[in-house]
Structure 1
Amino acid sequence: MLAMLHCGKKQIGAFLACILIFSSVFFSYVKDLQLQNNIARKNFPQAATTTASPVIELCKGKPAQNAITPLKGNRTLIITPYFDDREKKLTRVIGIVHHEDVKELYCWFCCQPDGKIYVSKASIDVHSDRFGFPYGATDINCLEPESCDPTHVSIHQFPHGDIDQLPRFEIKNRKAEPFPVDFTLCISAMFGNYNSVLQFIQSMEMYKILGVQKVMIYKNNCSHLMEKVLKFYIEEGIVEIIPWPIDSHLKVSHGWRYSMDSKDIGYYGQITALNDCVYRNMQRSKFVILNDADEIILPLKHPDWKTMMHSLQQQNPGVGVFLFENHIFPKTVTTPVFNISSWNAVPGVNILQHVHREPIIKKKFNPRKIIVDPKKVIQTSVHSVLRAYGKSVKVPRDFALIYHCRMPLQASLPRESLIRDTTLWKYNSSLITNVNKVLHQTVLQAEGRESG
């Protein structure tokens, strides 16, 4: 009996020793696993975007109503979420973020038909072209749950909590569609009580002659007269307005660099608007053009953009980003032709009278503007595409150039040092007819009513 008890004690001791050894190995394994996960999250932010499913939670939140939606604390502003499956099944939320203060965000996906919520940690990618401002254009990227195709998403600072009061955003670009248009032009942002009415109408009519089918304008504000013109183009079906009240949320700078004007964000959040415009048109336009209302990309060897882009793509297979050289036509230098009396009372310059351009300053940065295949763009800036699938190509100046009618950059140059360039006059007959039609239905009609 004593021998059996002694033997039992040995077995119990061995059993306890086994438990101790197993516990030590198990906890060491868990610690190792945690360490590996931490390293993975540090080196590969996308690895942190794992999904979870709080099965009791159901979709909540209030539908977002505005183009710019600030989250609590005003350190994150949401524009629009877009589905992006070019690499992974991803929701890319275009936003504006304070680059120092915002370190963690979560996507709360609303799945149908069960209405359950899936939470995914975001990678926060502030664009490199921030130019010193504390707020910058940002991609808030979240992997989507494999088990559903979410229709809506809310953005939260935490992976848990009450989201009843959070805005809920529809995820755009969920379905692939055939391109309804070849060319969409993005103008961002219209601000400063914009009133260059004649030049705007001339630019719009040139865009139409060259082949644009949609013009998207991120509008902060403009004059009362300009509103009449925009209303005409909206009713015509060519213009779509995206309200852009950025100055209701942030202190905006008129300059592009922080040292010029130390505000929250540069140039009315122009870079964010351009990125939103690219993604907004990714499924509905073959090409997207990024330029301002006083700029026109003029083909020199082709009659329009369609034939020009066909030629460029043949010469550069697989390229989706084309950069066009900027040429300033000073509005201070006038040619006494096409002096149309009915245009003289309309605010803004008559571009047909400005056909002298400044020579390019060698070894100085010359900002270009862009035509892109939106499906190949990941992030864009104003004068270049920051990240894309494939290369960018600089279009030679003898192939096409940007006609940019504005105040001179080289104001001291005498007239004889400027280059006479009448490319614009190729379109003068159609342009004059079309501009007169718009003016008589907007500005001149309004003046007639007022004088009567």
Structure 2
Amino acid sequence: MATRGRKTLRVLALIMFGYFMVTVYFYTRVMDKGREIRGSDDYSSILDYDEEKLDTKRTKVDRKLKGHSDNVFIEYNEQLYQNSKNREQPNTATKTRVDRFQGNPHEFKELEESSFDKKIRESAKRLEEKLRQKSDERNKTSFLVESGHVTRTHTTKYSIRQNMAESEETKTNDNSKKNVVDKFIRNPNITISTANYNFLEIFPGVYLYSSFFDSREEANFIRFILIGRTRDHARLSCSLQTNETGEVFESEMQFYQTCESHMKENSVYLCSCEIPDKYGRIQRVNLTSSENPNTFVSIDIVPDVKEPPFRYKLSTCVPPLFGDINILRLTEFIEFSLMLGSEHIYFYYNTKRDDIYQLLQYYSDLGVVTFFPWKLTMESHEIWYHGQSAAIWDCQYRNIHVSELVSFNDIDEFIVPKRTNTWNNMLPELNSVARRSLSENEVVAAFSFHSVFFDSNFRNNDPVINDEYGQLLTVNVTLRTSSVSKVRTKMIVYPERVFELGIHHLSKPMDDRFKSVLIPEDIALIHHYRDCDWNYGMNCDRIMKDNSMHRFKRDLLKRVRTSLFKFNRIEAGSSQADKGSRVP
């Protein structure tokens, strides 16, 4: 009985196997025949095809090109093809292609191909050519300087149904416009406002640093940078009165809290009051509090730039200086920032040391530094990182239409180009990355850079630099982490396209199409000279040698020495003058 059962199972297995083989054979023959009938074409998979409709003399055939591996195949209605085949005489042709992987030519056998097939292929080729041109036209959004105003100009989306002549004409015109756009126009008449309230307590628990008139949107706004309680902050209002009619206008202040509050007791706020156009570019506004509506505070407003921008191509904003500042390191930072291409550097001064103040004043007299007082009276545990967000916002809003681009970094950080020596020479590479990264309607608002730690505690068998170049931190410390930090990024931004800027990221642009672009590390890196931090996935055990700063060492040492020599002479002269004035 058991033997008969096993024989039955073997017979059933053989029958199933035979059925499977017949099915595979039949299916293979049918599919091969289908491929012979339809023919074969390769199209580049780098093209991203949308659904389009192809007009023929007989009918409209719905067609879309769908990417698959390295080929793009044409799908169309089989019944329409068969009808077309029956109506027209087939033409024979021998088709040859080169295998893209092995590079060997393969000759295909003669295939029957109707004129319908040829039209499909020719249309697909025309579509491919047009879309290649479309990809060249992408990301040409730019800013034109016209009549003293910034006018946004966007390349019209290329229509796939335009003929080739129209596309070439459009491409030529856009290229000619691009040559005009790329030209930077400098306006030296723009002045830098230094007005600030230095955290004046205007209401209980409300500390105002600065206020700006902002006309970037359709409506005008007054922006206030202040510090207040993180919870249950005060409710404030702006009030204006016309001189002609005495009409009083009130606007409730909208509070926007920084993303960098980190649950501290106090937070930095960017507050806004909307102002009607009929009041024009106001220079003063009254603030009132809901807790005491009968009391008002009159605030002066920093006006926005009415003249054609910009005074500077590139500037640098530095967070508040605090702690033990080394005067040699500060000089090295200023001189190297100027070497990289920064035309003006902004500092926020929060130290009682006279030598640091005098050094900043020395560079201020040269016209390359502006520094602001930063007397934040609250304790460090009451607000995040010395209120750094307020300094970032103040510097950003102060540079709208003053500097086209602004870098934000500490004095122990440098945005170092890897293929060029200056930021200006690096900009074409940054814009090229932006064009590849962004869609047609998107515009770059910030360039973000990876960072690496250059830790002086890293050790290897290299001898210590004892010559004159050993005075420079950037030359002496050459060991860094081999991995990059994608969290501790710093940025170069277009300030007019930003509403809120975080410490390490673009928090809120002025428009949804304004984006941040991450720059590859082979183009530029943040050199961060500090103790390595293991947080955020950083591996401080994996280090490597990096001598990329040595190409700057000769010029940098000369500049640092010259500046300190001149500064010491001025400081010595002023000290002797002070002593002489005290002689009876």
The 3-state SS of whatever aligns with 2:239 is strand
C-alpha distance in 1 between matches for 2:486 and 2:430 = 24
Would you say 1:391 and 2:515 are equivalent positions? Answer: yes
1:445–1:105 distance in 2 versus 1, CA, 3 Å = closer
Superposition pairs for residues 39-188 of structure 1, below 5 Å? 66-109=197-240, 117-149=248-280, 150-158=282-290, 161-163=293-295, 166-173=297-304, 175-188=306-319
The aligned counterpart of 1:266 is: 384
Higher relative contact order (CA 8 A, sep 6+): 1
Query: Is the CA contact (8 Å cut-off) linking 1:281 and 1:374 kept in structure 2?
Result: yes
**Sequence identity percentage:** 22
Query: Could you list the per-position Cα deviations for residues 312-345 of structure 1 after superposition, in whole angstroms to 9, with x for gaps in the alignment?
Result: 123314211111111111123476336329x86x
The 3-state SS of whatever aligns with 1:139 is strand
Amino acid at match of 1:402: I
C-alpha distance in 2 between matches for 1:83 and 1:68 = 21
The 3-state SS of whatever aligns with 1:321 is strand
The aligned counterpart of 1:292 is: 410
The aligned counterpart of 2:99 is: none
- 2:420 is matched with which residue: 302, 307, 329? 302
**Most deviating of 234-243 and 111-120:** 111-120
The aligned counterpart of 1:234 is: 364
Displacement after TM superposition at 1:224 (Å): 2.7
Displacement after TM superposition at 1:423 (Å): 1.2
The aligned counterpart of 1:327 is: 452
TM-score (norm 2): 0.58
Query: Could you list the per-position Cα deviations for residues 187-216 of structure 1 after superposition, in whole angstroms to 9, with x for gaps in the alignment?
Result: 111012x32211211111111111111110
- 1:420 is matched with which residue: 536, 539, 545? 545
Displacement after TM superposition at 1:103 (Å): 4.8
- Structure 1 runs of 4+ aligned residues shifted over 4 Å read 110-117, 159-163, 410-414, 443-451
Query: Could you list the per-position Cα deviations for residues 285-314 of structure 1 after superposition, in whole angstroms to 9, with x for gaps in the alignment?
Result: 010111001111000012210121232123
- 2:532 is matched with which residue: 396, 403, 408? 408
C-alpha distance in 1 between matches for 2:246 and 2:530 = 53
The aligned counterpart of 1:435 is: 560
C-alpha distance in 2 between matches for 1:147 and 1:391 = 33
C-alpha distance in 1 between matches for 2:574 and 2:258 = 49
Query: Is the CA contact (8 Å cut-off) linking 2:228 and 2:268 kept in structure 1?
Result: yes
The aligned counterpart of 2:467 is: 339
1:275–1:234 distance in 2 versus 1, CA, 3 Å = same
Query: Is the CA contact (8 Å cut-off) linking 2:317 and 2:409 kept in structure 1?
Result: yes
Query: Is the CA contact (8 Å cut-off) linking 2:229 and 2:265 kept in structure 1?
Result: yes
Query: Is the CA contact (8 Å cut-off) linking 1:153 and 1:171 kept in structure 2?
Result: no
1:111–1:367 distance in 2 versus 1, CA, 3 Å = farther
Would you say 1:202 and 2:332 are equivalent positions? Answer: yes
C-alpha distance in 1 between matches for 2:551 and 2:208 = 45
1:373–1:435 distance in 2 versus 1, CA, 3 Å = same
C-alpha distance in 1 between matches for 2:415 and 2:354 = 28
**Most deviating of 332-341 and 386-395:** 332-341
C-alpha distance in 2 between matches for 1:146 and 1:446 = 50
C-alpha distance in 2 between matches for 1:102 and 1:278 = 24
TM-score (norm 1): 0.73
Gapped regions of structure 2 (runs ≥ 5): 1-194, 436-442, 577-584
The aligned counterpart of 1:189 is: 320
Query: Is the CA contact (8 Å cut-off) linking 1:82 and 1:279 kept in structure 2?
Result: no
The aligned counterpart of 2:482 is: 359
The aligned counterpart of 2:497 is: 376
Amino acid at match of 1:211: G
The 3-state SS of whatever aligns with 1:320 is strand
1:111–1:427 distance in 2 versus 1, CA, 3 Å = farther
Count of aligned pairs between the two proteins: 366
Displacement after TM superposition at 1:273 (Å): 0.8
1:431–1:155 distance in 2 versus 1, CA, 3 Å = same
C-alpha distance in 1 between matches for 2:241 and 2:552 = 51
Displacement after TM superposition at 1:99 (Å): 2.6
**Most deviating of 441-450 and 220-229:** 441-450
Query: Is the CA contact (8 Å cut-off) linking 2:211 and 2:222 kept in structure 1?
Result: no
1:84–1:112 distance in 2 versus 1, CA, 3 Å = farther
Would you say 1:312 and 2:426 are equivalent positions? Answer: no
Gapped regions of structure 1 (runs ≥ 5): 1-63, 254-262
C-alpha distance in 2 between matches for 1:295 and 1:113 = 53
Displacement after TM superposition at 1:387 (Å): 0.3
* Bigger Rg over Cα: 2
The 3-state SS of whatever aligns with 2:416 is strand
1:205–1:115 distance in 2 versus 1, CA, 3 Å = farther
Query: Is the CA contact (8 Å cut-off) linking 1:118 and 1:145 kept in structure 2?
Result: no
